[in-house]
């Protein structure tokens, strides 16, 4: 290439730089029938590497976001497990309380039976004592009647009257005691009925509480599922958005990789063309004589 041709090529390169060409660009020169053809393609090979680095950074950011999401999901699962453990512990406490109440009721019933047995034994002993006293008393009267039949006829009548009176009073006392016993038994029965009623009411309340807990659990599960669906929709939307952004970036890269101007120098003449030239591709020009 002659000095003039080199100078013209340098001038063409300067024009390309002034027109906005990057620092690194490709050039080619070809001899054709004693004439030199210089083609300059505007482009920056380093730019593609920078874009690839940006892509890698974007991928790393996406991976980091995915890791954060996984960590959040694990935290949510741990919270759910902790909640289930607390609920299970609460159920165990309820069962323990129910067991204690049953043992307490059992002890009360056993204590009541022991009291009834003692009370009945005492009454039996008192009746036996009364019978023994009555026998001794009758024996003494017969002995006196044998010794003093004639003298104590009037006294015998009076004693008989007294005995009848005492028997009547004894019968009255017995009836009174029996009535009191019946009243006590009725009171005990009423207490037992009240206890049974209270027990049934407590059991009904517990059943209602259990039903309410089940309903709350169902509502929570439904709410969690709805939240999961919302999160899934958000993730799908985010993925679609990212895919669209990637497509746009690829299209922009393709556009960036294409240059729309070139500078030609032929035998000392410089020409500027608005020609579509693919990135890092050389073009050839055939010139006839």
- Quick: pLDDT tens for 10-34: 665 565 555 554 444 444 444 444 4
d(CA 28, CA 39): 5
d(CA 96, CA 104): 12
pLDDT in tens, 162-201: 888 888 888 888 888 888 888 888 888 888 888 888 888 8
Identify the pLDDT of residue 139. Answer: 57
Q: Which residue has the higher pLDDT, 107 or 236?
A: 236
CA 175 and chain centroid, separation: 68
């Amino acid at each position: 290439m002659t000095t003039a041709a080199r100078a013209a090529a340098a001038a063409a390169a300067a024009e390309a730089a002034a027109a906005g060409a990057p620092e690194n660009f490709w050039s080619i020169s070809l001899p054709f029938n004693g004439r030199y053809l210089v083609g300059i393609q505007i482009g920056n090979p380093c730019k593609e590497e920078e874009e690839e680095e940006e892509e890698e950074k974007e991928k790393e950011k996406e991976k980091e976001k995915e890791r954060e999401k996984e960590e959040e999901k694990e935290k949510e699962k741990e919270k759910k497990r902790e909640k289930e453990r607390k609920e299970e512990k609460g159920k165990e406490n309820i069962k323990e309380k129910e067991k204690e109440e049953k043992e307490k009721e059992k002890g009360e019933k056993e204590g009541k039976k022991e009291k009834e047995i003692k009370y009945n034994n005492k009454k039996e002993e008192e009746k036996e004592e009364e019978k023994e006293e009555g026998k001794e008393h009758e024996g003494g009267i017969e002995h006196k009647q044998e010794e003093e039949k004639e003298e104590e006829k009037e006294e015998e009548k009076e004693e008989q009257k007294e005995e009848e009176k005492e028997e009547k009073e004894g019968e009255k006392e017995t009836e009174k005691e029996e009535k009191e016993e019946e009243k006590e038994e009725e009171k005990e029965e009423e207490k037992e009925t009240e206890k049974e009623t209270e027990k049934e009411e407590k059991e009904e309340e517990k059943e209602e509480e259990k039903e309410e807990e089940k309903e709350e659990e169902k509502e929570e599960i439904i709410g969690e599922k709805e939240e999961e669906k919302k999160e899934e929709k958000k993730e799908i939307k985010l993925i679609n958005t990212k895919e669209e952004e990637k497509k746009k970036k690829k299209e922009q890269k393709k556009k960036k990789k294409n240059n729309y101007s070139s500078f030609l120098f032929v035998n000392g003449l410089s020409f500027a063309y608005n020609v579509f030239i693919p990135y890092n591709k050389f073009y050839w020009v055939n010139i006839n004589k």
